[in-house]
Amino acid sequence: MKLNKILKNFLKRSENRRDDKLEDGLCKGNIQEEKFSESEKQDRHITDRIKFHHARMDGINKIKDKPIAVLTEKPINVLILTLPLAFLTLIIGFIYIINEYGIGVLFNSTLIDDILVISLLIAVLPLAVLDYTEGRRTRSLEISLPNFFRDVAGMNESGMTLPNAIHIVADGEYGKLTPYVKKLDNEMSWNIPFVSAIYHFGLNLGTPLAMRTVDLIAKASTAGGDVSEVLRAAANDSYEFVNLDTERRNNMMIYVVIVMISFLVFLFVIAIMTGTFLTTMAAAGAASSGSGAGMSFGGSLDIDFYRRLFSHAAMIQGFFSGLVAGQMGEGRALAGLKYSVIMLIIAWFTFRFFI
C-alpha cells in the first residue's frame, strides 16, 4: 500500500511539473509572439504576397495573365494556339467544299489539297519562325559569352573586386548579351552573392552553353580558389564550344544544300514528265481511240490523277527533306522546319499554278 501511494504521488508531481512547463512554454511563446508580431507582420505579408504571385504564375493562371509571354517563352509553346487553329481551318474547309461541290470533290479535285496545305502552314509556320529567331538569339548570346567572361577575368586580375569588374564591363557592347550583363550588374550592386547572381544570369540566358558554363563557375567559386582563373577557364571552354559548333555547321552546310538541290531536281523531273511525257501519251491515246484503233494504254490515262499524285509526292518529300536538312545541318529536326515550309510552299505553288 505504501508503495502504491509513493508511485501515485510521484506520477502526480510529474504531471504537475509537465503542466507547469507547458504553461511556461506557452507564456514564453505568447511573449515572443507579442514581441515579434509587429516586426514580422510586414515580412509575413510580403512573403505571402510573393507566394501568391508565384502560384498565379504557374499553370493555367500564367496563360490567362500573360498569354503572349507563354506562347513565345519557348518556340514549341506556340503549338498551343496554332494546332487548334489549324484543326479548325481544316474542319471548316472540309465542310465548305463538301456543301458546295459534294463528297466527290475529296477524290477528284485539288481543293482539298489546298485546304490541307493551308492548315499545315498555319500549324508549323509560326513554330518555324519562332524557332529560327530563338536559334539566332541563342547563337548571338553564345558568341558573346566568352568575351564577357574574359573581360571580367581581366578586370578581376587587375585588382578590382567582382562587383566593380562587372559594373565596368556592363558598359561594354556585347550584342544581345548586353541587357543580361546589366541585369547581373544590378543584382551584384544589391549585395547579392556572386554565386547566386551568376546562377540567375545563366537562368535568364536559358541556353545550354550558358547553363553549363555558369554551373562550372559557381561550383569552382564555391570550392574556393582564384575566381579570375575560373572565369578565364570558363571563357576558354565556351570559346572552344562555339568554335566547334561553327565548324560543324560549316562542314554540314554542304549536305543541307544537297538536300535542297535534290528536292528541286525531283520537282523539275516531275514537272518535265507531267508537262511533256504524260501529256503526249494522253493525247496520243485519245487520238488512237478516236480513230477506232481499239483500246490503248494512253487512251485510259487519267493525267489529272497522276498530276495530283506527283504533287502529293513533291510536297511530302519537300516537308520531310527539310526536317532531314535541319537534323544534318544544326543537329535538330525542329530547326529544319524553315526549310520544310519553304519547300512545301514551292511544291504547292508549282503544281497549283504552273503544272
Q: Looking at the domain assignment, is residue 209 inside a domain?
A: yes
The mean pLDDT value of the chain amounts to 80
The yes-or-no verdict on residue 309 having pLDDT over 70 is yes
Task: Write out pLDDT tens, residues 144-166.
Answer: 999 998 888 888 888 888 888 88
The whole domain housing 164 covers 139-244
Q: Which of 74, 82, 78 is nearest to 137 (CA)?
A: 74
Q: What is the pLDDT of residues 3-36, one digit of tens each?
A: 445 445 544 555 555 445 444 544 444 444 444 4
> Taking CA 128 as the corner, what is the angle to CA 125 and CA 134, rounded to the nearest 5 degrees?
140
Q: Which residues contact 345 (CB under 8 A, 6 or more apart)?
A: 121
Rounded to an integer, the average pLDDT of 253-269 is 92
Grid coordinates representing 13 are 508531481
Q: What is the DSSP letter of 334?
A: G
Asked, for residue 323, whether it belongs to a domain, the answer is: no
Question: Does residue 54 form part of some domain?
Answer: no
pLDDT(124) > 90: yes
Q: In this structure, is residue 240 part of a structural domain?
A: yes
pTM of the entire predicted model? 0.76
Instruction: Tell me the three cell numbers of residue 336.
Output: 529544319
pLDDT reading at 313 higher than 70: yes
Helices 111-157 and 79-101 meet at what angle, rounded to 10? 170
pLDDT at 81 over 80: yes
Q: Quick check: 185 and 170 in contact, CB under 8 A?
A: yes
Residue 63: pLDDT above 80? no
Does 177 map to a domain?
Answer: yes
- Nearest-angstrom CA–CA distance, 331 and 324: 10
Higher pLDDT, 57 or 233: 233
Answer yes or no: is pLDDT of 2 > 50: no
Determine contact, residues 280/297, Cβ cutoff 8 Å.
no
| The one-letter amino acid at 291 | S
The model's pLDDT over 199-251, given as tens digits with 9 standing for 90+, comes to: 888 888 888 888 888 888 888 777 766 778 888 888 888 889 889 988 988 89
Would the pLDDT of 300 be above 90?
Answer: no
Instruction: Report in angstroms the alpha-carbon separations of 269 from 223, 226, 275, 306, 315.
Output: 65, 65, 10, 14, 14
Is pLDDT of 308 > 80?
Answer: yes
For residue 118, name the pLDDT band (cuts at 50, 70, 90): very high
CB 342 within 8 A of CB 322: yes
CA distances from residue 282 to 86, 229, 304, 312 in whole angstroms, order as listed:
38, 77, 11, 21
Q: How many domains does the chain have?
A: 1
Domain for residue 234, yes or no? Answer: yes
**Residue at 318 is within a domain:** no
User: What pLDDT is attached to residue 10?
Assistant: 43
Residue 266 has pLDDT above 70, yes or no: yes
pLDDT higher than 90, residue 289? no
Exposure b/e, 233-242, CB count within 10 A at least 16 = b: bbbebbbebb
Dump the DSSP string for 239-291.
Answer: HHHHHHHHHHHHHHHHHHHHHHHHHHHHHHHHHHIIIIIIHHHHHHHHHHHHT
In a domain, 328, yes or no: no
